[in-house]
Chains A and B, each alone.
Chain A
Amino acid sequence: QSALSQPPSVSGSPGQSVTISCTGTSNDVGSDNGVSWYQQPPGTAPKLMIYDVTNRPSGVPDRFAGSKSGNTASLTISGLQAEDEADYYCSSYTNSASWVFGGGTKLTVL
């Protein structure tokens, strides 16, 4: 199972919006299986930010929004804050009942 494709890095200034893409195939992102997004600040465990493409777990700010079109999912962070600086990973369940992650995107808040 090949990893999902994410840009290595994105950046934005405080208050701006950034979007991170996640491209897979019809067997994972493009299927009816949910896409999820994780935030991982340096030296910490990943935290679930989005599940089932668009849903936010309790406690996640509504500045974080997920979407999907075809084989590409996206995470948009609006109103960037310094605390948002972290690595972000997308993930998808696959049609072969396995999980696949993206390579990760480093978000820098300028």
Chain B
Amino acid sequence: QVQLVESGGGLVKPGGSLRLSCAASGFTFSDYYMTWIRQAPGKGLEWVSYISSTSSYTNYADSARGRFTISRDNAQKSLHLQMNSLRAEDTAVYYCARGRCRGTSCPPDYWGQGTLVTVSS
């Protein structure tokens, strides 16, 4: 069965950096685009970034562009999100999710359980 397991969350000071990872299993990782979606405490979902199946195309929400970098390693079946210049408003549970098919217009279907990032001094 499809499994996505995020890691790397934690407490970081404003201006600091964090690298999130997502380990995938149960499907052919290299066939799907992957995305990061976050949810601030008690708030709604916010799309952060996605990466195509071959890493040839990425896109970011305005809130992440220039500070976050998404990447993937198809050999290791892993997805990453490098987050720099973190702000208090980046505090959220970060979910790794699989696109339902190869194209980036396919909605995320399987989601991990999320990893909590807290930005606070």
Q: Which residues of A contact B (CB under 8 A)?
A: 1, 3, 33-34, 36, 38, 44-48, 51-52, 57, 89, 91, 93, 97-104
Q: Which 8 A-B pairs have the closest CB atoms?
A: A99-B47, A36-B107, A45-B111, A104-B44, A101-B45, A93-B105, A48-B109, A103-B44
Of residues 63 to 106 in B, which have CB atoms within 8 Å of A's CB atoms?
95, 100, 104-106
Q: Of B44, B45, B62, B109, which is in contact with the most chain A CB atoms at under 10 Å from its CB?
A: B45
Partner of B107, one of A1, A34, A103, A104: A34
Given contacts A33-B105, A99-B50, contact A104 B100 (CB under 8 A): no
Tell me whether A45 and B59 are in contact (CB under 8 A).
no
Nearest neighbor of B105 in chain A, beta-carbon distance: A93
Residue B9 at the chain A interface, CB threshold 8 Å: no
Tell me whether B112 and A51 are in contact (CB under 8 A).
no
Tell me whether A101 and B113 are in contact (CB under 8 A).
no
Please give the distance in Å from A85's CB to the nearest CB on chain B. 17
Contacts of A48 in B (CB 8 A): 100, 107-110
Contacts of B59 in A (CB 8 A): 97-98
17 A-B pairs whose Cβ atoms sit less than 8 Å apart in the complex: A36-B107, A38-B45, A45-B111, A46-B95, A46-B111, A48-B100, A48-B110, A51-B100, A89-B44, A91-B45, A97-B104, A99-B37, A100-B47, A101-B37, A101-B44, A103-B44, A104-B45
Please give the distance in Å from A53's CB to the nearest CB on chain B. 11
Docked pose: A97 CA to B50 CA in angstroms: 10
Please give the distance in Å from A101's CB to the nearest CB on chain B. 4
Docked pose: A47 CA to B109 CA in angstroms: 7
Docked pose: A3 CA to B95 CA in angstroms: 18
Please give the distance in Å from B39's CB to the nearest CB on chain A. 9
Tell me whether A102 and B95 are in contact (CB under 8 A).
no
Contacts of A51 in B (CB 8 A): 100, 106-107, 109
